[in-house]
Structure 1
Amino acid sequence: MIYRKLRVTSLCSAAAIALVASPALAQNSAQQSDDTTGSSGIADIVVTAQKRAESVQDTPIAVSAIGGAALAQRGATDLTAISSSVPGLNVSEQVGQARLTLRGIGVDNISTGAESSVAFNQDGVFFSRSAAALASFYDVERVEVLRGPQGTLYGRNATGGSVNIITNRPTFTTKAGVSLTYGNYDTINAEAYYSTGLTDKVAVRLAGQIQNHGGYGENLVSGSDVDDKHSQAIRGQLLFEPTERLTILLGADYYHQKDRSNIYHYFGPAGFTAAGAPVTPTGLLLGGYNPGPRNVASARDPSNRAEFWGLRADISYELSDTLSLRSLTAYRSSAFLVDSDLNPVGNDLFPITFGETSDEYSQELQLNLDTDRNKLVIGAFYMHEKIDGFIQGPLNLRAVGGPDLFVQGFYSGGRLKTDAAAVFAQDSYSITDALRVTVGARYSWEKKKVADQSDFNFDDLYDPAAGPRFPVHRDSQTFKSFTPKIGLDFDIARDVMVYASFSKGFKAGTFNLGSTGPALDPEKVDAYEVGLKSTLLDGHLRANLSGFYYDYSDLQVGKVQGQLLVLENAAAAEIYGLEGEFTLEPVRDLILTLNASWLHSRFKNYVTADQARPAGDGTTVDENGLPAFDLSGNRLPQAPRYTIDLTAQYSFDLPGGSLTIRGESNWSDRIYFSPFNLNYVSQPAFDTQNAFVTYRLDNGLRFTGYIRNIGNETIRASGQVATTLLGSPVIGFVKPPRTYGLTIAADF
C-alpha cells in the first residue's frame, strides 16, 4: 500500500529545548549550553561542515550556523523557520514537500520521485525525500546551512548546497526539559527531552514533539478547517563508550501526521487562447467562485497523511591521537498520501491524489586525519533507494463539455530504483600558520532503473480499483561524474580570514516517474567563490561576506506538461551574487543582526513551450517546430534578487530573573514560481515582522510571548499553472497568517 499506517501506542510526551532567553544567536556545540555574550563578546559556534569540529569563523566556506538556543528563542518547529536567517536560502512547502533553494539552485518539481539539488542531512544521514525534511526540528543542537556546491564531502545532489541538522546527543549527567505552547488557531504544541547515564559507559536520550493547530482557512463547501496540523514525533538515542577510543551511537526516530493540510488554493486565471484572448478557468464558467487566498471551495475535504521513520548506527574508533575511523549506517522509510483538488472553486471537476513510499539504505565510511598541518578526510558512500509513487485523479466530463460523470481520468506512477556510490577525499594543508590550501575530489557513480506507466482515460467510468490501461515502460541509465575542489584561505590579521575556491557540483540525471519518457541529463555547475570572515571590536562585531559566480548547465527545470508535473533540461544559466552576515553587540546584552543577499540568476539560453499560452511569443519555436518562448534572461524560479533580514534583541535584569525582547523584520524581493517569470505566478515583494518577549526566572522557568507575521500578510509559498482541461488556473500554497501565543518552558 502507498500509505502504511502504523498505530502509535505510546509517545514520549513532547520534546526539545524550551524557549530560552539567552541574548546570543547560537549555541556552543562543544558545551551544549546556551550562548551568552557580555564582556567576551559574541559567542562562537562549533560546526562540522567539513566533517571535523571547528569554529564557524575558521571554516573557509559560506556556512550559516544556528544554535539550538536561537531556534528555541524563535519557536522554530520546522525548516521554514530558518529561511530568513540564511542569506540566499528560500524554503517553501508544496504538497507536503520542502522546496529548498540556495542561491537559485534547488528543486523545481514536486512530483513523486523528484529530488532536490540541495542535500538534506540529519546527524550525518542523507535524506533523499524532501518531505521528511520538514519533520526534524526538535531537540536540535544546531543547524548548519552550507551554501554553494558541496561536490566533495557530501553524498548526493548537493549542487546548491547542504542543510545539516545535528540533534542533541545523550549525556551522562541527567538533564530534562519540557515546553508547552498555547496560541491562536487553537495551537497546542508540546516538546520534552530526557537524557541520563544508565552506567558510566552507557547513556540514553529520549525526545518528542506534538504539534496541533486548527485551520488557517476553511473549506467553504463543507465548513471544515483546511491548512491545520496534527503531528507527533519521537526520537531515541543510545550511546555506548565501552573504551576511551570506541564510541557507538544508535538512534531511531518516528514521525506521524494526519490532518487537512496541503490543499491547493486558487490564485487566479493564467490561460490565453492562440489568438491571445484571456481564458476564464473552467470551474468559474461552470458556476464556481473565488473563495479567497486562504479559503478553498472544494467538493471533497483534503487529506494529508505522512509517516517517516529511521534507524542509524554511528560508530567511531580512534586509531591514534590523530587518526580516527567512522562508520555511519542508516535506513530511512517515508510514506505520504495527499488528497487535494486542482479546481478548488466550488465544483467537483478534478480531485487529485499524490502518493509515495520510499525505502532508503545508506552506508558511509570515513577516515579522518587531524594534525597540526593536515586535516584529511577520506571516505566512501553507498545508497540504495526504492521509490513507489503515483499521481492520479478522476476527471468530471463537465470540464470538457460533457455530462456530469467521472471517468478514470489521469494516472502517472511507477517504481524508481537508485543505486549510488562514491569515493571522496579532501585535505586542508597548512603551508604556514596563516596560509592553508584545500584540495578535494569525489568520483560519483549512479544507476537509475524505472518501471512506470502513464494514462489519460476518457472512455471508462471512474473505478478507484482500476489501474492504467497501458503496459509498463522500463528503462535504466547510468551517470558518472568527477567533482574536484581547490581552495585557499589566509589569515590577513588576527580573527580576519579571506578565502577563495573553485569547485564542481553534480546532480545525477533522473526519470520523470510516470511520464514513460527518457532520462534527463545530469545537472552540472562550475562554482567560483571568494569570502571574508572577521571578528572585530574585541569580539563585539562579526562580519562575514561572500561573493560567487556559477556556470550552471543542463538545469532540471519543472513545468506542467499536459497533466504531468515534469522536469526538463534547460540549456544553461548564469548565477552570481553577494551575501553578508553581520552581528553587532554595541552595548552589553544588545544584539543587532543583518543578513542580506543580492542574487543575479538568469537563464543563458532556454526555449520551451507554455501550454497555457499556445501561441508562444510570436517568433520562437521549439525543437519540434511548435510555438514556444525564448526565456533567455529570465530569472530562475524561487530566486529573489534581494533579501534582507534584520533583528534586534535586548536583555536586562528584573527582580528574580531577566527579560529579553526580540524583534525581526524579513524583506524579500519578488519570487517567481516558474521560469516564464509571470507576475500572476509569483509572490510580489513582501515584508514581515515577528516579535518575542521572554521572561526567564532564576529557577530556570521561562515564559515567552510571541507574535509572527504581525501585519497578517497573505504570502504565497508556491504556485503553478494547472492543466488546460481546467482553463489553466493558477493554484498553489500560502504561508501562515498572523499567529501569536505563550510558551512556558523549563529545564531540569
Structure 2
Amino acid sequence: MHLTSRRSGLPGSNHLASTALATALILTFPVSAMAQTLEAPPQGAEAGAGPDNPTSVGTGAADHGEIFVTARRRTETVQDVPIAISVVGGEHIDATGSFNVGRLQQLTPTLQYYSTNPRNTAVNIRGIGVPFGLTNDGIEQGVGIYVDDVYFARVASATFDFLDVERIEVLRGPQGTLYGKNTTAGAINIATRQPTFDFEGRAEVSVGNLDFRQAKAAVSGPLSETVAARLALSSTSRRGTLWNTTSGRWINAQDNLGLRAQLLWQPSASLSITLAGDYSQQDPECCGTVYVRTGRTQRALNRQYEALAAAQGYAPPSTDAFDRLTDLDASLNAGNKVGGASLKAVWDTGIGTLTSVSAWRFWDWKPENDRDFTGLGITTLSQNPSQQDQYTQELRLSGGEGALGYTLGAFFFQQSVDTQGSQQQGPAASAWLINPSNPLSADPSVLDGLTATNTIGLDNTSAALYGQVNWQPLAGLTLRPGVRLNYDSKDGDYASVVTNGEGQRVTYQSTDPRIVAQRAVLAPQAFSVDYEDWNFSYDLTASYEVSDEVLVYATYAHTFKSGGVNLNGVPSDADGRPILEAATVAPETVNHYEIGMKARFWDRRATLNLAAFRTDIANYQALVTNGSLGVLRGYLANAGQVRTQGLEADLSIRPSLRFNAYANAAWTDATYRTFTDAPCPPELSGGASPQAGQEPDQPGTPGGISPVNCDISGARLPGVSKLALAYGAEGNVPVTLLGQEGAVYLGIDGSYRSRFSSNPTPSAYTWVEGYALTNLRLGFRGEAGFEIFGWVRNLFDTRYFEQLQVPGGNTGLIVGTPGDPRTYGLTLKHVF
C-alpha cells in the first residue's frame, strides 16, 4: 500500500504549484502600495512588537525599531545575538493559529514535534532532544522549555495553549553555559506579556468549523504607583477529528483552559519583583489512532494480523485512514493539569544585574489508552496516572562594561514523580497473544482479567554552576568562552505485580502452563536504581562585526546530556531477575560545531540569517534490544554514535509598512553513525532466533528466522525531514471601515516537510510521505486596536499523517494519527 500525503486526485507537483501560485498572488497584491512607500522602517531602538508593529517569523524583523530578545539572559537585539535563533511574535502566533508547540513547528523548520498523547510527546531541534517512541521519566530532555525564565521539566507542557505570549525564541544548539538546565539540542524560550503601569487589555474570540471555539483575554494596569497586575485567560474547544464507531462519539478533541496572574512590585528604579501563578488543564477524549495498513513480518502466518483478525471475525471499520474511522473499545482519556508559581526578582546592584527566579510546578496526568489499537477486547485497560512536583532556584549576575562583560549563574532543580500504572487483558487476548499451536489459545479465561499493577517513583536532583564572559580584544571582535559544572542524582523504583483472572500471583517460580503463558504477556518485576554523576562542559563563540549590518560567528561546544535510569522496566534473566546493568543509562557526550552570519541590507528592509552546523553525539540514548544480555525486551540504553548536520536560512523582507514576507529553510542530515544492537523493524521481527551457522531470512518472510538485533548504522534518525520549509507573506492597503481608519490585509503562511521515518528503526512500513500545508487569512486591522479576520488552515485539505505507530507483538499492524483536515473560521480581536 502506498501512503500518500496528498489530497486524492491532486498530485504533489500540482499541489506545490498551487501553493506557489497562491504565494505569488500575495506577493503581487500590494505592489502599488509598495511603490508609494519604499522608505526604510524607522531605526529607533524603542519600538517593539505589537498590533501595529508585526514581526517576521524567523528573523524577528519589525516595521518599527528593533525586536529585543533575552536568549542570552540579557536584553539585546536579535541581530546582535551570535546564536542561531528563530523568533516568532505573539501576533503571528495568534494570526496563524499556532497556539501550542505542535503548531509552532509549522513556522520553525528546525523544530520537530511528535505526540501520541501529552506524556508521550517528543520536542526535538535539528533531529535531537529525546529518544523517539518511548517516554521514560528517568531520562532528561535535550530541548529545554522555559516560560519567563522558569524551566518546565515535563514536555507535556508543550501540548497546552500558549497563554498571553509576547514572543517565542527557538534557540538551536547547546545552551548550557547560559541557561539553568543543561540543554544539548536547544531551548524554547517563551516570554509572556508583563504587567504594565498603563492600563491596557486585549480580547479575542474565534469560531470555526468542527465546533471550534476559542476565547482569549488579558487585562493589565496599576494597582498603585509601585504595584501593577496582569490577568490572562484562554479557553479552546473543538470537536474531535476521528469518529469512534464503538462509542458513537468523536475523539481526539481539543479541550483546553488556561489562567495566568502576575503581580509586579517596583519599589525603585533598580528593583522589580514579579509574583506569577498559572494553571492549565485539558480533558479531551483522546488519543486514538486509525488503521493504516499491514505489512508482512517474520511471524508465522497464523500469528500475523490478517489471520488473527479473521480467526475472531474482526475487521477494522475502514481501511482508508482518511475516512477517519476507528473502533477502539477501551476508555480514552488525556486528563492533564499543569500549574505553578514563581517569584522573580531583578536588582541592579551597581556591579551588575542580579536575577533570582524561584519556582514550584506540578503536573497531574490521568490517561486511559487502547493499547491493542483495535476494536477487540485484547487490552481492555491501560493507564499510567502520574503526579510530579518540581522546585527550581536560579541565581544570575550579569554585568561588565566596555570590552569585558560576564554572566555568572547557579541553578538547583528538584523533581519527584510518582506513577501508578495498570494494564488488564480482556476476553480476546488469549486468541490474539498465545500461539495458536498452544491449546491455551482457545481458552479465553487464560488471559482474561490478567492485570499488571505498576508503581514507579523517581527523585531527581540537579545542581549547576555556569558562566560566560564577553571579551572584546579588538574592535568588532568578541570572544565568549563559557563553562558549566553539573551534578545529577536520580533515585528510582519500579515494581510490577501481576495477577491473573483468578486472583493468583503470576511468578517466575511457577511451572503451571497457564502461569507460563500469562507471564509471557505480563511479567512481574521489581528493582531500585541509583544514578549519580558530575559533568563539566564548555564552549567558545567568536563573533565579528564585519559592518554595522553584518555579524559573523563561529561556535564550538563540548557538552553532555545527563545520564538517567530506566523506569519502564528492564530486561530479566531466565529466572526473572532484573538485569540491573541495564537500569542506568550513561550521559551522552556532545561535540557541536557551528558557523553563521546575520545580515541586514536594503536599508534594513531585508534580513538574512544563515547557519551551518554539525553535532556529534557519543553514547546516544535510544531504544535498544541488546542480544548480549540474552533478552529481546526493549529499553533505553546507550546506542553508539549519532551525527546531525545541516544548513539553515531565515529571510525576511519588509520594503514598506504595506508588505512583508519571510522564508525559512532547514536541510538536516541526522543519522546513526554506529548503532549495532538496534531493535529490528517489523519486517525483520517475530521469527525464530538464529542458531549457530544460520542466517536471518529476507524481510517479511513468514515463519522465518529473525536477527536478534539489527545494525542500522548510517540510517536516518526518526522524525527528521531532510528538507523543511516555512514561508509566508502579508500585504495590506489602507481603508476606512465603519468610520475607523485601518487596513485590509491578506496573508498566507505555508510549510513543507519532506518524508521522515516514524519508527525508531526505519521500516518500509512507517515512512511518512512529505507534505505541504497552507494557511490563508483575510481581514481588517484598525488603528484603534479592532481587528476582524477570516482564516482557512490546511487550505488544500492535504491528507497527511502526524505519526505512524507499530503496535507491539510484530503482527504487522500499522496505525496512525491523521493530521487535521481543512478548518476555517472567523476571529474578532480588540486591543486597547
Do Structure 1 and Structure 2 share a fold, with TM-score over 0.5? yes
- Taking the aligned partners of 2:732 and 2:266, their CA distance within structure 1 comes to 40
Deviations, residues 650-693 of structure 1 (Å, cap 9, x unaligned) = 11112232111111221111121223211422311111111111
Selected match of 2:729 from 630, 638, 648:
648
Q: Which residue of 2 aligns with 1:501?
A: 555
Tell me what 1:524 maps to.
Answer: 589
Partner Cα distance (2:177, 2:708) in 1:
42
Contact 2:485 2:534 in 1 (8 A): yes
Q: Which residue of 2 aligns with 1:398?
A: 431
Matched, 1:131 2:156: yes
In 2, are the aligned partners of 1:106 and 1:117 still within 8 Å (CA)? Answer: yes
Does the CA-based 8 Å contact 2:89-2:168 persist in structure 1?
A: yes
CA-CA distance at 1:30 after TM superposition = 6.7
- Give runs of aligned pairs for residues 574-653 of structure 1, distance below 5 A: 574-586=643-655, 588-607=657-676, 608-610=678-680, 612=682, 613-614=685-686, 627-653=708-734
Q: What residue number does 2:20 align with?
A: none
Q: Say if 2:623 and 2:679, in contact at 8 Å, map to a contact too.
A: no
User: Which letter does structure 1 place at the counterpart of 2:566?
Assistant: N
Match of 1:734 among 809, 813, 818: 818
For 1:502-558, what per-residue CA distance to the aligned partner results, in whole angstroms no more than 9, with x for missing partners? 012321111221314511111221000000000111011110000011111111123
Q: Say yes or no: does 1:153 pair with 2:181.
A: no
Where does residue 289 of structure 1 map in the other structure?
A: 315
1:374-411 per-position Cα deviation (integer Å, ceiling 9, x unaligned): 23110100101011125432123332334444232445
Instruction: Please say if 1:111 is aligned against 2:135.
Output: yes
Pairwise mapping of residues 534-613 of structure 1 onto structure 2 (< 5 A)? 534-558=599-623, 566-586=635-655, 588-607=657-676, 608-610=678-680, 612=682, 613=685
Deviations 1:132-159 (A, max 9, x none): 2222502001101000111212233511
Counterpart CA distance in 2 for 1:542 and 1:679 is: 41
What secondary structure is seen at the aligned counterpart in 2 of 1:644? strand
The answer (yes or no) to whether the contact 1:30–1:46 under 8 Å persists in 2 is: no
Pick closer, same or farther for the CA change 1:688–1:271 going to 2, 3 Å: same
- Does the aligned pair in 1 maintain the 2:51–2:785 contact within 8 Å? no
Query: For the residues of structure 2 that align with 1:629 and 1:566, how far apart are their CA atoms?
Result: 15
SS at the partner of 2:325? Answer: coil
Q: Does 1:81 align with 2:103?
A: yes
Q: Does 1:269 align with 2:294?
A: yes
1:240 equivalent in structure 2: 265
Whichever residue aligns with residue 550 of structure 1, its letter is T
- Is 152-161 or 634-643 further displaced after alignment? 152-161
Q: Distance in 2 between matches of 1:232 and 1:62?
A: 33
- What SS does the aligned partner of 2:585 have? coil
Q: Separation in 1 of the partners of 2:163 and 2:633? A: 35
Q: Deviations over 1:207-229 (max 9, x none)?
A: 00011111111111111110111
Check whether the contact 1:330–1:363 (CA below 8 A) recurs between aligned residues.
Answer: yes
Query: Which residue number corresponds to residue 83 of structure 2?
Result: 61
Give identity over the alignment, percent: 25
| Residues 521 and 458 of structure 1, relative CA distance in 2, 3 Å threshold | farther
Report the CA distance shift for 1:31/1:202 in structure 2 as closer, same or farther (over 3 A): farther
What is the aligned partner in structure 1 of residue 414 from structure 2?
384
3-state SS of the aligned residue for 1:326? strand
Cα distance change of structure 1 residues 175 and 588 upon mapping to structure 2, 3 Å threshold: closer
CA distance in 1, matches of 2:311, 2:141: 37
**Is 1:480 paired with 2:534?**
yes
CA contact (8 A) 1:264 1:341 kept: no
Q: How does 1:79-228 map to 2 (within 5 A)?
A: 79-97=101-119, 98-107=121-130, 108-113=132-137, 114-228=139-253
Tell which deviates more after alignment, 479-488 or 437-446: 479-488
The answer to which of 422-431 and 450-459 deviates more is 450-459
CA apart distance, 1:69: 1.7
TM-superposed deviation, 1:698: 3.7
- What is the rounded CA distance, in whole Å, between the counterparts of 1:392 and 1:268 in structure 2? 29
Tell me if 1:34 matches 2:51. yes
**Match for residue 335 of structure 1 among 364, 387, 396:** 364
Distance (whole Å) between structure 1 residues aligned to residue 762 and residue 707 of structure 2 = 20
1:513 maps onto 2:567 in alignment: yes
110 and 707 in structure 1: CA distance in 2 versus 1, 3 angstrom threshold: farther
Alpha-carbon contact 2:98-2:104 (below 8 Å) kept: yes
Per the alignment, residue 658 of structure 1 pairs with: 743
Report how far residue 711 of structure 1 moved: 2.1
Is 1:446 the counterpart of 2:488 in the alignment? yes
Amino acid at match of 1:595: N
C-alpha separation in 2, matches of 1:531 and 1:714: 36
Alpha carbons 2:494, 2:528 under 8 Å: kept: yes
Q: Report the AA paired with residue 609 of structure 1.
A: P
- Offset at residue 729 of structure 1 (A): 2.5
TM-score by length of 1: 0.90
Show the counterpart of 1:7.
Answer: none
Give the whole-Å Cα distance in 2 for the aligned partners of 1:515 and 1:103. 29
Matches within 5 A, 1:397-436: 397-400=430-433, 401-405=441-445, 406-436=448-478
How many angstroms does 1:314 deviate by?
0.3
On the 8 A contact 2:46/2:66 being kept in 1, the answer is no
Report the residue type matching 1:366 in the other structure.
R
- Higher mean alpha-carbon deviation, 44-53 vs 603-612, is at 603-612
In the alignment, residue 337 of structure 2 is paired with which amino acid? E
Residues 414 and 461 of structure 2 are in contact (CA less than 8 Å); yes or no, is this contact kept in structure 1?
A: yes
Structure 1 unaligned blocks of 5 or more: 1-22
Query: Which residue identity does 2:541 align to in structure 1?
Result: G
Q: By how many angstroms is 1:342 displaced?
A: 2.2
Q: Give secondary structure in 2 for the equivalent of 1:248.
A: strand
- Structure 2: distance between partners of 1:505 and 1:620: 39
Q: Which has the larger radius of gyration?
A: 2
2:353 to 324, 333, 336: 324
**Is the 8 Å Cα contact of residues 195 and 204 (structure 1) preserved in structure 2?**
yes
Deviation for aligned residue 1:284? 5.9
Is the 1:35–1:69 Cα contact (8 Å) retained in structure 2?
A: no
Residues 682 and 337 of structure 1: CA distance in aligned 2, closer, same or farther (over 3 Å):
farther
Label 1:234 to 1:630 Cα distance change in 2 as closer, same or farther (>3 A).
same
Deviations 1:253-282 (CA, angstroms, capped at 9, x unpaired): 001111112223333335512579993264
**Aligned-partner SS, 2:103:** helix
Q: Greater shift after overlay, 671-680 or 275-284?
A: 275-284
Unpaired segments of 5 or more residues in structure 2? 1-33, 35-40, 56-60, 434-440, 506-521, 571-581, 698-705
Q: Count the aligned residue pairs.
A: 716
The alignment's TM-score, normalised by the length of structure 2, stands at 0.81
Secondary structure, aligned partner of 2:680: coil
**CA drift at 1:76:** 2.3
Higher helix share: 2
Distance 1:30 1:442 in 2: 35
Deviations 1:162-221 (CA, angstroms, capped at 9, x unpaired): 011111110011111111110001011100001010001000000000111111111111
Q: 1:432-474 CA deviation, whole Å, 9 max, x = no partner?
A: 33110000000111000011123565565699xxxx9956411
